[in-house]
Structure 1
């Protein structure tokens, strides 16, 4: 089991170092993902300000669905 954890950590480090070769792209992707999730959350917040249910789904249920 320890062997596989070490191997997984090696792959994680390699993947991170490869992503950091293009730092602007790396941080731009993080920034764009944050914007995407913020817009999604705000969109559903606006909908639930005007309605209690969305196709039978409550607000917490929708946010769990969006977060997955």
Structure 2
């Protein structure tokens, strides 16, 4: 049994939504930790998590100037 293109697109969209939600929660948790500890290493970890979250919304290849 093969899946229709619409069904596959729906599955991929759900997977992308879940990845974004997971990345958001990782960032939020680390951000709260950094705000509570004020430790540089916790801030760096939160910043890296933010980068991973944002990378989910950036096209694979950015346009070249």
TM-score normalised by length of structure 2: 0.55
2:19 pairs with 1:33: yes
Structure with the larger RCO, 1 or 2 (CA within 8 Å, 6+ apart): 2
| Correspondences of 1:1-68 after superposition (within 5 Å) | 21=5, 22-53=8-39, 57-59=41-43, 61-62=44-45, 63-64=47-48, 66=49, 67=52
Return 5+ residue gaps in structure 1 as ranges.
1-19
TM-score normalised by length of structure 1: 0.53
Point out the structure with max Rg over C-alpha.
Answer: 1
Q: Deviations over 1:32-53 (max 9, x none)?
A: 0110111011001111121112
Alignment length, in residue pairs? 45
Return 5+ residue gaps in structure 2 as ranges.
53-65
Cα distance in 2 for residues equivalent to 1:29 and 1:52: 34
